[in-house]
Structure 1
Amino acid sequence: MAGDGAERTGATRRRGAALEQAILRAAADELLESGYAGLTMDRVARRAGTNKNAIYRRWPNRAALGVAAYRQLAVANLDPPDTGELRGDALELLRRANCHWTSPLGEVLRGLLSGVGEEPELLAQLQEQAGAAGTAGWLTVLDRAVARGQASPEARHPRVATVALALLRNEIITRGVASAPDDVLVEIVDEVYLPLLRGRARPGVG
């Protein structure tokens, strides 16, 4: 079959991790271009230069492939800001999160959440991935603040680090909007997030 070419041609033959990464990159590109609704094994196989059997050996269906590809996208988008101070980093992270739901990656996540809803295990994986991706950026920002002496090590707790994100999500859900006004983000950071971090400092710190 023509679709096997890249698999069987001497120097271009790929196996194992190399082939798996090529498939995941192709699936991620398809998700960004066509969304989960447009994701098919045929299209991913053509883009990856392989055949559907190679995909099915690794992922039993397009839902499993879609969730795995989203993980690649979420990790690739982890680039926490470094403004030199905690307030600036927190505001930038919150502004990014505020725009995420209507961004291309946010649209991919919405499509997947809807598409894998009848597969509880995959849905749980997807929710865990999305949550972990968000937590990682906030912990990185907080680690830098601790290293700069702008926050106490006691403040480094996942629930504390991401409380601003939780408040933003609550704002969006309760108001039924796609994003919150910037003054709300500033209020969350200045009136809740930074005071909470300062409150967790050891006596004599900050």
Structure 2
Amino acid sequence: MTGDRQPGRPRSEAVRQAILAAAADELTEKGYAALTVEGIAARAGAGKQTIYRWWPSKADVVLDALLEAAASRISIPDNGTLRADLTAFLAATFRQRSQRPILVGLMAEALLDPVFAQQFRDRFLFGRRAALRGILDRAAQRGEISADVRIELLIDVVYGVLWYRLLLDHAPLSEAAGRELAALVVRAAGQQVS
């Protein structure tokens, strides 16, 4: 073989999209524990071997489905102010309540499988943190965040609230909650700490 081509048939983007959509649908209907590669393959009209050739496990299929959903549904706004950017970003993030079964299932898998945990952390969690960090860094450059405020702590606060509500389901994970959290972070970002 010459060049960079991998052995075997190249991925069909249409089949890949069908598999990712099937994984999301199966997960929504059955939950993560009942999700199987066989079920994904049947719903997608693809072979089980195709899925295993492209993804090592059901968790990896679901992670790719989640990454695609996050990229298409949650934009990184640049409206010129921390309040506007953070409100838009968190409202869109919290609006994704339907993703709860996916996120909870992947977090459970990450707790049980250290290899997958690293993939989940590196590809999803750190990616979402980087998106929020970009918003906060721009605000800091505009002087909207006090110099003594630790941006990483603000990020922890935001995702701490998100994951706590996702995992425990004790309070709404809604657009309104995202707006409320944005207002809280904006107030905290501007205050000097003694």
- TM class by shorter-chain length? 0.5 to 0.7
Instruction: Check whether the contact 2:74–2:93 (CA below 8 A) recurs between aligned residues.
Output: no
What aligned pairs does 1:46-125 form with structure 2 within 5 A after superposition?
A: 46-97=42-93, 103-125=97-119
Structure 1 residues 163, 69: CA separation in 2 closer, same or farther (over 3 Å shift)?
A: same
Structural RMSD (CA): 3.7
What residue in structure 1 maps to residue 11 of structure 2? 16
Q: Give the letter aligned to residue 11 of structure 2.
A: G
Instruction: Check whether the contact 1:98–1:168 (CA below 8 A) recurs between aligned residues.
Output: no
Deviation of residue 109 (structure 1)?
0.6
What residue in structure 2 maps to residue 150 of structure 1? 142
Deviation of residue 89 (structure 1)?
1.5
Residue by residue over 1:40-97, the C-alpha shift from the partner in whole angstroms, topping out at 9 and shown as x without a partner, is 2222212322111111222233233223333323333331234442222223334455
Query: What TM-score, normalized by structure 1, do the two folds share?
Result: 0.62
Deviation of residue 111 (structure 1)?
1.7
Question: Which structure 1 residue ranges, 5 or more long, are not aligned?
Answer: 1-13, 200-206
| Identical amino acids, percent of aligned pairs | 30
What aligned pairs does 1:35-54 form with structure 2 within 5 A after superposition?
A: 35-54=31-50
Question: Which structure 2 residue ranges, 5 or more long, are not aligned?
Answer: 1-8
Aligned pair count reads: 172
| Aligned-partner SS, 1:16 | coil
Instruction: Check whether the contact 1:24–1:68 (CA below 8 A) recurs between aligned residues.
Output: yes
Matched, 1:28 2:21: no
The higher-RCO structure (CA 8 Å, 6+ apart) is 2
Structure 1 residues 22, 97: CA separation in 2 closer, same or farther (over 3 Å shift)?
A: closer
Distance 2:94 2:11 in 1: 38
Residue by residue over 1:113-139, the C-alpha shift from the partner in whole angstroms, topping out at 9 and shown as x without a partner, is 124432111022213333223224324
| Aligned-partner SS, 1:137 | helix
Distance 2:93 2:153 in 1: 13
Distance 1:42 1:78 in 2: 30
| Aligned-partner SS, 1:79 | coil
Deviation of residue 195 (structure 1)?
4.4
Distance 1:164 1:142 in 2: 9
What aligned pairs does 1:161-200 form with structure 2 within 5 A after superposition?
A: 163-170=153-160, 173=164, 177-178=170-171, 185-190=182-187, 192-195=188-191
